[in-house]
Structure 1
Amino acid sequence: MKIYTKSGDKGETSLVYGVRVSKTDVRVEAYGTCDEANSAIGLGLSYISRDTEWAAFHHVFHVVQTKLFHIGAELATPQGKDVGWKIEESDVSFLEKTIDEWDAELPSLTNFVLPSGSPAGAAFHLARTVARRAERQAIAVQADGEVNPIVIRYLNRLSDFLFVAARYVNQKQGTVEPTLHQEKE
């Protein structure tokens, strides 16, 4: 089997169920941005050891990356068609529970954190900004048609999760978080 199909050479692609749309379609932008966020998460994970100390962390992200893939599938499913892997409220609760657990181990924020730190932390900050864009684009899809409202809640919570994950990794790896220093007048 060849990896290329040549079916997109004229600027169109297929949604789920074979519906053809422009590659600039809002749905394509939204699920493509979910793919970008997922790739940035993968980059962050590539900087983290796979030893037993980090096993639970990797497991959490395996779940998150799988759910993000499912969101992409939901966004690629045309209005009125059945979704194979529907995001549920329990998926949002999973993020919230993990945010609360990791945040409890972090020092309180006293200043704005600059998106940086360790390579893993910086990659999770990048993934956070891409997740925010995916959320905005999912809202645009919702304006044009039907979108599972839990998808938008999940993407919103995902950006919070990735912020905490970046801080958590930076702390666990002993990297000082750079913060915004207010200049005194």
Structure 2
Amino acid sequence: MKIYTRRGDDGSTALGSGARVSKDSPLPEAYGAVDEAQAVLGLVRAESEGELAELVEQLERDLWRVMGELAGAARGDGVTREMVAGLEARIDSLTDRFELPQEFVVPGENRVAALLDHARTVVRRAERRALAAGVGGDALAYLNRLSDLLWVMARWQAGEALPSRD
């Protein structure tokens, strides 16, 4: 099987509906940023084990559904309110374990925390691109909540955070 089709050589890509759009149009920009976030989470998982690795793998799998919905190819298994609620439950569970910093922090306490912060910023970009494309509902809420969860996960993995001010 060949992985290339040459159909995108003109700078276009196909959405799930079959419509062709420019690769730099809002929807491909949005699901491209989600794809990038998923790749960064893959780096996190490669550096992790146990509970963190399991959580990250689930997030990676969820992001397939987000990308499918953004590309118009979800066909009934897109983002759900239950997925958003699941992220909220994870946030609550993690924040019950430690005290969150009350001010901005300097990212980079360790490699995993830095990668989680990187993933968070990529998800924030995906959220902005999705909004620009007119995406709303559960997909937009999922991206918003995911960036919150990634911030909490980064603080969890950083341990004692370095405040932005001395």
Paired amino acid for 1:177: A
2:148 pairs, out of 157, 160, 167, with 160
2:112 pairs, out of 120, 123, 127, with 120
1:102-113 matches, cutoff 5 A = 102-113=94-105
SS in 2 for 1:62: helix
**Alpha-carbon distance, 1:148 to partner:** 4.8
Paired amino acid for 1:74: E
Which residue number corresponds to residue 89 of structure 1?
A: 81
Which residue number corresponds to residue 7 of structure 2?
A: 7
Aligned equivalents of 2:161, 2:47: Cα separation in 1: 17
Which residue number corresponds to residue 140 of structure 1?
A: 132
Q: 1:83 to 1:141 in 2, by over 3 A?
A: farther
Q: 1:75 to 1:108 in 2, by over 3 A?
A: closer
- Residue correspondences, number: 166
Aligned equivalents of 2:75, 2:133: Cα separation in 1: 15
SS in 1 for 2:21: strand
Aligned equivalents of 1:43, 1:59: Cα separation in 2: 13
Which residue number corresponds to residue 27 of structure 1?
A: 27
Aligned equivalents of 2:3, 2:100: Cα separation in 1: 48
**Alpha-carbon distance, 1:19 to partner:** 1.7
Aligned equivalents of 1:110, 1:99: Cα separation in 2: 16
Q: 1:15 to 1:22 in 2, by over 3 A?
A: same
SS in 2 for 1:18: coil
Q: Is the 8 A contact 1:46 1:120 kept in 2?
A: no
1:67 matches 2:67: no
What residue ranges of structure 2 are gaps of 5+ in the alignment?
A: none
Deviations 1:50-71 (Å, cap 9, x if unpaired)?
3xxx1x3322222211111111
Aligned equivalents of 1:156, 1:109: Cα separation in 2: 20
Worse-matched range after superposition: 151-160 or 101-110: 101-110
Q: Is the 8 A contact 1:44 1:122 kept in 2?
A: no
What residue ranges of structure 1 are gaps of 5+ in the alignment?
A: none
1:163-174 matches, cutoff 5 A = 163-171=151-159
TM-score for the superposition, normalised by structure 2: 0.92
1:179 matches 2:159: no
Deviations 1:90-148 (Å, cap 9, x if unpaired)?
10111111111111112231331112111111000000011111111111111xxxx35
